Structure 1
């Protein structure tokens, strides 16, 4: 995989003191339960935490701990596995080539297969995280990120296949552990049962996420946040069609298959070596038996 050039990133963000990032790297490498991460990876966390060393330490520990204990999203990252092949046929997840005028980068997720019986939420989220990790590694730090979820083709059948604990885990990761500055979380082509989807999400969303959550009844409203010209041609934009942008990134995952499997190994916590008490999945997410699937009427 081709990592974004470090010198260019520091030039683009002159407020970041490289000496501080290097101190952060030294701290990471001094932790017995963490593996050695690169300066480029550390930079993502330092930037996402607005240059707060203490916050960055907490977030990177949480990130690696979630990756270790949330196996359904972050383990078995062989893109040739049958469940990931199915996910690639089920959903389109891809970044847009261009940024907003503010420099924000956009990540799109949408259903490709309307047949709910082929939808496995955990596998689709695993694919989502794999594309996101590869993109972030290659793209480097940015002023902010926007997530766009297109609900076209989404049915109550899809919603019924999302476990409450799975939703809790993903939103926990997004809010507490992801090394990004999330500027906007936009739903487009919203569905009549939007209240049921929000009922699934609401218990696990902090105020900060709710403040950047947008529901768009029409695309003109959405274009106020993401200019139409930088969108795929499916939305009247100037970029290639969604399936082309999707295929480009899915092919990258195939090209970097071994790298992604190695990436998984390097982003694990050794709980036996953690100073103090080891953490478990229930420490992060609660007891799984207390969570049921959302009842869909």
Structure 2
């Protein structure tokens, strides 16, 4: 894992003051419950928070706290584990090589294996987060990111295997803790039961996420947001198919296995050393209680 070049990033975003960034890095190093993050990593939070020091502090703390207490998505990041191997066979998660004309980075997620019995939502989201982390670490800060969820092959059997509390935790992380500027969250190849999928999400979505959520019944409408030319071949684009693109990043996870395990340890907090009251999962996500899987008639 090679971090993106710092000087090149500051050159692309001259509005970011490196002196202010250094204050942010020094603040991180002064926090007893946090481990030291490199300037390259801290930069993602400062940029995502529109260069607001106080907001960057809050989002970083929330990010590391969520990673510590959300074992579903951020623990046991060993790509050799059977559950992650299965997830790699089940879904294709593909960061695209090209950006949009605005400079936005794009990532596509879709099913590879449509057998619902092989689908585990938490494991697939863990794989998604691993790839996103690796991608951002090496790619550096960008004007924005676009997430595409291709629902081709999704059945009610898949939806029935999604836990409501897992959805709540992921959307909390995406909205409160992810170090990105989310420009668009697009669903394509939508299914007749799209209302069931949205029913899982909308209770946990803030207006900021709702405003960038797009459900496309027409692929040409989607191409108004993301040029067709930068998409994989199966969408009529110029890039390789998702089955090939995914292997590039799955290989990165395998090649960088030891570094990713270190990354996991470094991006956690020590609650025993936190100033003030220690936090636990319920402080972030509430009590799991009666959250059940969606009841499919």
TM-score range, shorter chain: over 0.9
* Structure 2 counterpart of 1:71: 71
Aligned to 1:92, the other structure's residue is in SS state strand
Task: Tell me how far apart the structure 1 counterparts of residues 274 and 94 of structure 2 sit (CA, whole Å).
Answer: 35
- Residue 58 of structure 1 is matched in structure 2 by 58
Residue 207 of structure 2 is matched in structure 1 by 207
- In the other structure, the counterpart of 1:124 is 124
Partner of 2:218: 218
SS of the equivalent of 1:288 reads coil
For 1:218 and 1:122, the matched residues in 2 are separated by 29
Q: Which residue in the other structure is 1:13 paired with?
A: 13
Question: Helix, strand or coil for the counterpart of 1:62?
Answer: helix
Cα deviation per residue 1:63-100 (whole Å; 9 max; x = unaligned)? Answer: 00000000010000000000000000000002000000
Provide, for residues 246-271 of structure 1, a one-character-per-residue CA deviation record: whole Å limited to 9, x for no partner.
00000000000000000000001100
Q: Give the TM-score, by structure 1 length.
A: 0.99
Partner of residue 81, structure 1: 81
Query: 1:1-297 to 2 correspondence within 5 Å?
Result: 1-297=1-297
Where has structure 1 moved over 4 Å in runs of 4 or more?
none
- For the residue of structure 1 that corresponds to 2:289, the secondary structure is helix
CA distance in 2, matches of 1:237, 1:128: 23
Supply the distance in 1 between the matched residues of 2:289 and 2:208 (Cα, whole angstroms): 28
Q: TM-score, normalised by structure 2?
A: 0.99
State the 1:218 CA deviation: 1.5
Shift of 1:121: 0.4
C-alpha separation in 1, matches of 2:155 and 2:27: 47
- Looking at structure 1, the residues matched to 266 and 93 of structure 2 have their Cα atoms a distance apart, in angstroms, of 24
1:296, distance to aligned residue in structure 2 (A): 1.1
| Deviation by residue 1:193-226 (Cα, 9 ceiling, x = unmatched) | 0000000100000000000000111111110000
1:139-158 deviation per Cα after TM superposition (whole angstroms, max 9, x unaligned) = 00000000000000100000
Aligned length: 297
Three-state SS of the structure 1 residue aligned to 2:94 is: strand
- Write the deviation string for residues 88-133 of structure 1: whole angstroms up to 9, x where unpaired: 0000002000000000000110011110000000000000000000
Deviation per CA, 1:39-64: give whole Å up to 9, x if none. 00100000000000000000000000
Structure 1 residue 38: Cα displacement: 0.4
Query: What CA RMSD, in Å, does the superposition of the two structures yield over aligned residues?
Result: 0.5
Shift of the alpha carbon at 1:286? 1.1
In structure 2, what is the Cα distance between the partners aligned to 1:90 and 1:292?
Answer: 23
Q: Which runs of 5+ in 2 are unaligned?
A: none
Partner Cα distance (1:215, 1:72) in 2: 27
Deviation of residue 293 (structure 1)? 1.2
Q: Structure 1, unaligned stretches of length 5 or more?
A: none
Whole-angstrom CA distance in 2 between matches of 1:2 and 1:270: 26
